[in-house]
């Protein structure tokens, strides 16, 4: 670890292997909180690279709960959080719409960290279990097309990292990599990030992690979701190549709304919003989900264009398929005892 720290403090980037070695040391018995904090702060002070992000993610995934699924085309649409927009649970709601359109979603998420209500908070309020065992998760993915992976449950060995992160109270690489650490082998991904300056780098990180296809988005107002408020900045990864572009909601036949119009509340409030959207209630919440679900379907490749993705998203809701995915996940949850995590 000392060699890697000295290199970082001299403003030199680590290779993937060097980053893996440093991260692996963080999981050993003799690691100190000071060493972990030094690694995180040195990376932040220098500025993280795609190799460093890919290296730490590979080790964290190796230390995570193994999900034994052989499904070939699984995606996630988790965002990094941290945009301070206080929006409702956009990606969580969109996940059910994407699943209703026929895409298998391993939805990775956590309780609220920087927002008022995290994906785990709203789903738990709806009766979704946070403690599915690996074999059950695989069964749900196969039968329902969407399962929820609660981050602390699938990453039990990250407690030291989380303790140091909380004590530091500063943004670090851990604020960026959450969506990348999904233990399921993902084929494609829609990744929202609150830092527009890191769009290309995060796309390259996804490439190094083996994604066939991915879309990284920073929304209008610097949201970690696509927004109806104006231009959204994106980078598409396809077959190892990246291409940046912008998209405005009006290009997709969607109305413009201020980000103020998509604010959420506590878990109870956001659960009502989520259910209303899946039931097709018109308004900014629904339109925002159509935009993000459309992007997800394009990121996966199910839709050839974003416009087609929005069309498929509308059909998923109108047919009741999206709502049915939620109802079935709630039914699976009734079959197992709920753990308090």
- Which residues are annotated binding-site positions for Mg(2+)? 91, 224-225
Q: Using only C-alpha atoms, what is the Rg of the chain?
A: 19
Of 295, 224, 234, 221, give the one whose Cα is nearest residue 261. Answer: 221
CB atoms within 10 A of CB 263: 16
108, β-bridge pairs: 149
Instruction: Summarize the annotated binding site as residue ranges.
Output: 79, 82-83, 87, 89-92, 107-115, 119, 165, 224-225
Instruction: Summarize the annotated binding site for 5-phospho-alpha-D-ribose 1-diphosphate as residue ranges.
Output: 79, 82-83, 87, 89-92, 107-115, 119
Question: In sequence order, what DSSP letters do the residues of 152-199 get, joined into one string?
Answer: HHH-GGGHHHHHHHHHH-S--THHHHGGGG-SS--SEEEEE-S-GGGH
Cα separation of the two ends of the chain: 32
3-state secondary structure of 113: coil
The residue ranges of DSSP E strands in the chain, in sequence order, are 74-76, 104-109, 146-150, 188-192, 213-218, 232-238, 241-247
The CA distance from 323 to 321, in Å, is 6
Of 49, 58, 38, 40, give the one whose Cα is nearest residue 12. Answer: 49
* Order of strands across the sheet that contains 146-150: 146-150, 104-109, 74-76, 188-192, 213-218, 232-238, 241-247
Instruction: Summarize the annotated binding site for anthranilate as residue ranges.
Output: 79, 110, 165
């Amino acid at each position: 670890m000392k060699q890697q720290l000295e290199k970082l403090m001299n403003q030199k980037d680590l290779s993937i292997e060097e980053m893996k070695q440093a991260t692996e040391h963080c999981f050993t018995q003799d690691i100190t909180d000071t060493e972990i904090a030094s690694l995180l702060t040195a990376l932040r002070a220098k500025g993280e690279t795609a190799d460093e992000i890919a290296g730490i993610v590979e080790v964290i995934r190796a230390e995570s709960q193994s999900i034994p699924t052989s499904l070939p085309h699984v995606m996630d649409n988790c965002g990094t959080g941290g945009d301070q927009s206080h929006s409702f649970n956009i990606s969580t709601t969109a996940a059910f719409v994407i699943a209703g359109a026929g895409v298998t979603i391993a939805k990775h998420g956590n309780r609220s960290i920087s927002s008022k209500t995290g994906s785990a908070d709203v789903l738990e309020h709806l009766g979704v279990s946070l403690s599915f065992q690996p074999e059950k998760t695989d069964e749900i993915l196969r039968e329902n097309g969407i399962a929820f992976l609660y981050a602390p449950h699938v990453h039990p060995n990250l407690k030291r990292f989380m303790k140091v992160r909380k004590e530091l109270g500063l943004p670090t690489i851990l604020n960026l990599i959450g969506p990348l650490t999904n233990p399921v082998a993902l084929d494609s991904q829609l990744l929202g990030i609150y830092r527009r300056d890191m769009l290309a780098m995060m796309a390259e990180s996804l490439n190094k992690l083996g994604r066939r296809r991915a879309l990284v988005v920073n929304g209008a107002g610097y949201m970690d979701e696509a927004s109806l408020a104006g231009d959204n900045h994106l980078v598409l990864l396809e077959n190892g190549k990246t291409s940046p572009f912008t998209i405005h909601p009006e290009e997709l036949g969607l109305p413009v709304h201020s980000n103020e119009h998509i604010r959420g509340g506590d878990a109870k409030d956001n659960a009502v919003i989520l259910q209303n959207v899946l039931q097709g209630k018109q308004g900014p919440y629904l339109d925002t989900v159509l935009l993000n679900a459309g992007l997800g379907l394009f990121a996966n490749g199910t839709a050839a264009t974003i416009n087609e993705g929005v069309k498929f998203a509308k059909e998923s809701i109108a047919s009741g398929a999206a709502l049915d995915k939620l109802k079935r996940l709630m039914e699976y949850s009734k079959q197992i005892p709920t753990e308090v995590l």
